[in-house]
């Protein structure tokens, strides 16, 4: 089971949703960087379950305990290891899932692949709970990027077909990308956010769930980071994004909208801004040929509706080899994307910091 990613700064994630703890080991962080523990804790709280109307009733503090890699608050060059203790589990809610798998989940394929030895409680290692360690690593990467004046932020672009204001990809500032994350509900337009919240609450009352799109951006990336073909900026970000449970699609810049545009509409014309080359637009989303252009890097991530719903569903009884009905128990988010906004920021920061380290090593 591979839960490891990264080249120059690598991240390994361990644990299961209902195990004693979950955590990460991060290798490659240079020594001598001060980590703002209070800022990291605030970032972790954005993802932590807390019983709000749009999230699971399960409550966890998600406060990381560092086992190595820091001396005080300073990185020391050794692998950084951190653990989050699981304190609020109800594994009995999942007893029946070895026999009757949940539609939309990995229960059945995990049963086949691991021969019944997988941890089914809370989804085990397939759970969105494992995004908490990603936020430890990514929260640190965000701070390291900010030392180089690179800022990463995200917002809910769409929930249940309700749109937030789209970012102006060409004119984005650091303040723009940071602002949504400072709100309890991470949107640009609070009125759109209220409608989204209403849709999520309605889905929950109907024992159902809704999907969403998260828009993420990085402002301040220099020109020339990344490689063509298989080591480009899109490749790196997409690989990390697909490590987030429930992600079903990633698009950069105009993305699939580009398929309906003419070249004269989609191309980003060059111009001179004093003595430097600049762009008049940013339809490419800050990346050309896999390499950063200096414009804001902008991408969107599509999240499917939460698979764990309480509507009765068709399934199968793996023991009897017969059709069966499934009435689910447990505690689940009616829209996983709300708490996934900081997770998308985290994986974006990890991907970009890894690429920046590669660029510095090449020079």
Helix (H) or strand (E) holding 342: helix 337-362
Predicted pLDDT at 362: 63
The verdict on whether residue 331 carries a ligand-binding annotation is: yes
Q: How confident is the model at residue 89 (pLDDT cuts 50, 70, 90)?
A: low
Distance CA 17, CA 36 (A): 27
The verdict on whether residue 306 carries a ligand-binding annotation is: yes
Say if residue 25's pLDDT is above 70. yes
The verdict on whether residue 279 carries a ligand-binding annotation is: no
Say if residue 105's pLDDT is above 90. no
The verdict on whether residue 55 carries a ligand-binding annotation is: no
What confidence tens digit (pLDDT) does each residue in 136-181 have?
999 999 999 999 999 999 999 999 999 999 999 999 999 999 999 9
CA 194 from chain centre, in angstroms, equals 22
The verdict on whether residue 121 carries a ligand-binding annotation is: no
CATH of the domain at 66: 3.60.150.10
What is the average pLDDT across 332-348?
A: 94
Q: How confident is the model at residue 247 (pLDDT cuts 50, 70, 90)?
A: very high
The verdict on whether residue 334 carries a ligand-binding annotation is: no
The verdict on whether residue 125 carries a ligand-binding annotation is: yes
The verdict on whether residue 305 carries a ligand-binding annotation is: yes
Give how far Cα 192 sits from Cα of 167, 180, 209, 215, Å: 14, 13, 18, 15
What is the average pLDDT across 242-259?
A: 97
The verdict on whether residue 304 carries a ligand-binding annotation is: yes
Residues in CB range of 310: below 8 A, 6 or more apart: 207, 208, 327, 328
Q: How confident is the model at residue 1 (pLDDT cuts 50, 70, 90)?
A: low
Q: How many domains does the chain have?
A: 1
DSSP 139-182: HHHHHHHHTTT-EEEEEEEEETTEEPPPP-TTT--HHHHHGGGG
Say if residue 107's pLDDT is above 80. yes
Residue 38: domain span? 4-362
Q: How large a percentage of the chain has pLDDT more than 70? A: 93
Q: Which of 101-110, 278-287, 316-325 has the highest mean pLDDT?
A: 278-287
């Amino acid at each position: 089971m591979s839960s490891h990613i990264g080249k120059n700064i690598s991240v390994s994630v361990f644990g299961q949703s209902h195990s004693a703890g979950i955590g990460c080991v991060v290798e490659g962080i240079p020594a001598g960087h001060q980590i703002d523990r209070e800022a990291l804790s605030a970032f972790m709280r954005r993802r932590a379950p807390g019983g709000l109307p749009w999230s699971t009733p399960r409550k966890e503090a998600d406060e990381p305990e560092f086992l190595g890699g820091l001396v005080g608050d300073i990185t020391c060059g050794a692998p950084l290891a951190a653990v989050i203790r699981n304190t609020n589990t109800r594994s009995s809610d999942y007893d029946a899932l070895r026999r009757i798998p949940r539609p939309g989940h990995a229960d059945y394929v995990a049963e086949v692949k691991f021969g019944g030895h997988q941890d089914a409680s809370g989804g085990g290692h397939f759970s969105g709970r494992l995004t908490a360690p990603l936020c430890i690593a990514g929260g640190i990467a965000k701070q390291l990027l900010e030392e180089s004046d690179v800022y990463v932020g995200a917002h809910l672009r769409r929930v249940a077909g309700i749109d937030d204001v789209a970012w102006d990809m060409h004119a984005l500032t650091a303040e723009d990308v940071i602002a949504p994350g400072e709100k309890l509900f991470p949107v640009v337009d609070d009125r759109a956010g209220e409608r989204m919240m209403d849709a999520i609450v309605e889905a929950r009352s109907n024992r159902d769930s809704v999907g969403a799109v998260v828009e993420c951006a990085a402002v301040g990336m220099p020109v020339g980071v990344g490689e063509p073909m298989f080591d480009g900026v899109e490749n790196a970000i997409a690989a990390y994004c697909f490590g987030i449970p429930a992600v079903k699609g990633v698009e950069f810049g105009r993305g699939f909208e580009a398929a309906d545009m003419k070249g004269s509409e989609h191309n980003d014309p060059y111009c001179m801004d004093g003595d430097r080359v600049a762009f008049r637009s940013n339809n490419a989303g800050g990346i050309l040929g896999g390499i950063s252009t200096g414009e804001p890097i902008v991408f969107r991530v599509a999240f499917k509706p939460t698979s764990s719903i309480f509507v009765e569903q068709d399934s199968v009884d793996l023991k009897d080899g017969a059709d069966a009905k499934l009435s689910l128990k447990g505690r689940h988010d009616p829209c996983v994307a709300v708490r996934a906004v900081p997770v998308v920021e985290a994986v974006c920061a990890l991907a970009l910091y890894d690429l920046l380290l590669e660029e510095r090593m090449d020079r």
